[in-house]
Amino acid sequence: MGKKIEWYLDFVNLEYRPRDEIIALYYFEPREGVSKEEAAGRIASESSVGTWTTLPGMPEERIRKLMAKAFDIDGNFLKVAYPLELWEEESIPQLMTGVAGNIFGMKAVESLKLLDVKLPESYLEGFKGAIYGRDAPQKIFRKRHNLITSTVIKPKVGYTAEEHAEIGFQIMRGGIDCIKDDENLTDQSFNKFEDRVRLMAKVRDKAEEETGEVKDAFINVTAPNLRELERRIKLIHEYGFRYFMIDVVISGFTAVQTATDLAKDYEMAIHAHRAMHAAFTRKNHGISMLVVAKLMKIMGVDQIHIGTVVGKLEGRKEEVAAIKEMLLRRNVDEIPHLRLDQDFHHIKGILPVASGGLHPGILPDVFDIYNLRRDPLVIQVGGGVLGHPDGPYAGAKAVRDAIDAYFDGVSLERKAEESPELRRALEKWGHLKPV
Ligand code: CAP
Ligand code: MG
C-alpha cells in the first residue's frame, strides 16, 4: 500500500518561525507507541483543517495556507502556530472550537492541556476589553487605595430576599464595599431575583447614606438563556447598580460576550465568578486558568477570581502570580512552560479577585502574595464574615480593621487591642489556613 493515507506530519515544521499568527502553548503526553511528532501533527491538524486521512479532492493551495504548524517541541511542551484566516473576528467561542476543541479527545494523547494562547494585535483589535478594569477602586469606589472588599452571604443559598438584604445592609454598614451573590444563587423560589435586586438597592442606598461610602452588589445574572440574561442585566442597571456578576465558565463564552456587550451599553462593571473551572484547570488535561482569565480580560470582564494560595481552594503560588500579572499589565513576558509573552495593546488591565476560605487572620498573607501596596485587588470574604461569633456587622468590621492594620503597617494582634471585633475573629480562627 504505497499511497499515503494520512498527512499528519505535514502539520509539523520545526524550522517554521511564526509571523502574525495565533500561537498556542500545550502540555502533551503522547500515548504509548505514538511519537511526539506524530502527536504534535495530530494536535495541529485536528485543531485547524485536517482529519484522520488524506483528502484527494481538496483545494491544495488554499488549504495549505490555513494549516496550523507544530513548530516547537520542548519535552512535553508544544507550540502551534495558527494562521489568522482560520478565525472569525471577535468570536472567542469560535477560537475555542479550534485551540480547545476536538483535540482533547484524541486517542493519540494520554493528556493534553492548553496552557496559553498568544493573540496578535490584528486579532485583538476587534475586542474592546473592560470599561473600568484595574481603575475600579478609584473610578467606582473613589478609593484612596487599591482594594475593593466584598462579602458573599453564607449559607450560599437559603435566605429570603428580605433576610439577604438585611444581612447585606449590616455587612455594608460594617465597612464592606459590595455584597456578592453566591455562584448558585440566581432566581430560587425563596429568593426571587427581582425581589433581591429591589431590596438590595434599598439597603445599598441606606448604607451609602450612613457611611458616606460607595456601596454596590455583585448580583448574579447567570440565566437559562440569553434573553433572560439580558433582562436580568437590564433590571440591575435600572436599579442603579454599577456591577453585575456572572458565572462565566458555566454560562459559556457566548453568554459572556453577550454580557460584556450589554455592560458597554449600560456602562456597567462585570464581576466574573469562575465556578466549574476546576473541572478542567487543575491537572494535566484540559485548559489552564491562565487561558480562561486571559480570554475573560479580552472579552471585557472587569474582575475575575484567580485564587488565594492560602485559602480553601487549589491554586499554586507561581500560577496565581503569573495570572495576576497577565490580568493587570499591558504586556507580560514569557514564563517557559507556564505563560507566553503577550502584548494586550488597547485592552485594559483588569482586577484579580482573591476569594475562598479567607478570614481576617490570613488577610495579611493574601495581601503580601498580591503585593497590595503596589497593585489593585478585589478581596472576597464570605464565611470569614458570616462566621464571626458576634454576627455580620462585627464580621465586616473585623475584616475592615484587619485591612486598615495592613495599610497602617500594624500587626493584627496590635490592632485587635483596639478592635473587639477583630479580637473575636482572631480568637475563633487565629491564622488558620482552611483546607
Ligand atoms: C467563597 C465562595 C467563592 C469561592 C470561589 C465559595 O466563599 O463564595 O465561590 O471563593 O472559588 O462559595 O466558596 P468563602 P475561587 O469566602 O466562604 O470561602 O475564588 O477559587 O474561584
Ligand atoms: Mg461561592
Residue 164 a catalytic site member: no
Residue 350: CB atoms within 10 Å: 31
User: E strands, 248-310, where?
Assistant: 269-273, 286-287, 303-305
pLDDT of 2: 63
Lateral strand order in the sheet of 303-305? 216-218, 178-180, 147-152, 377-380, 351-355, 303-305, 269-273, 243-247
pLDDT of 316: 85
For ligand 1, mutation pick of 176, 180, 304, 313 (most atoms within 8 Å of CB): 313
pLDDT of 313: 80
CA distances from 228 to 5, 9, 85, 126, 259 (A): 49, 47, 34, 26, 11
Q: Determine which helix (DSSP H) or strand (DSSP E) holds 233, and give its type and residue range.
A: helix 226-238
CA dist 181 and 275 (Å) reads 13
Let me know: does 375 contact 328? Beta carbons within 8 Å. Answer: yes
CA dist 81 and 171 (Å) reads 50
Give the pairing type, strands 178-180 and 147-152.
parallel
Pocket flag, ligand 1, residue 401 (CB < 6 Å):
no
The CATH class, in words, for 133-429 is: alpha beta
pLDDT of 311: 78
Let me know: does 367 contact 361? Beta carbons within 8 Å. Answer: no
CA dist 334 and 118 (Å) reads 10
What are the per-10-residue average pLDDT scores of the chain (435 residues)?
82 96 98 97 97 91 96 98 98 98 97 98 97 97 95 98 98 98 98 98 98 98 98 98 98 98 98 98 97 98 94 85 98 98 98 97 96 97 98 98 97 98 98 89
CA dist 412 and 138 (Å) reads 26
pLDDT tens sequence across 240-294: 999 999 999 999 999 999 999 999 999 999 999 999 999 999 999 999 999 999 9
Non-local (6+) Cβ contacts of 337 within 8 A are 25, 27, 74, 77, 115
Ligand 1, residue 380: give the atom nearest the CA.
16
CA dist 298 and 293 (Å) reads 9
Identical fold for domains 11-124 and 133-429, yes or no, is no
Residue 36 a catalytic site member: no
* Element counts in the chain: helices (H) and strands (E): 18, 15
Q: Which amino acid is at 133?
A: G
- Considering the candidates 113, 273, 277, 397, report the single residue annotated as catalytic: 273
Best CATH choice for the domain 11-124 from the list 1.20.1050.10, 3.40.109.10, 2.30.30.110, 3.30.70.150: 3.30.70.150
Non-local (6+) Cβ contacts of 417 within 8 A are 423
Q: Determine which helix (DSSP H) or strand (DSSP E) holds 357, and give its type and residue range.
A: none
CA dist 78 and 139 (Å) reads 41
Q: Which amino acid is at 342?
A: Q
Q: Cell 504509548 maps to which residue?
A: 32
Q: How far is the CA of 132 from the centre of ligand 2 (A)?
A: 23
Pocket flag, ligand 1, residue 313 (CB < 6 Å):
yes
Q: Which amino acid is at 319?
A: E
Give residue limits of the domains in the chain: 11-124, 133-429
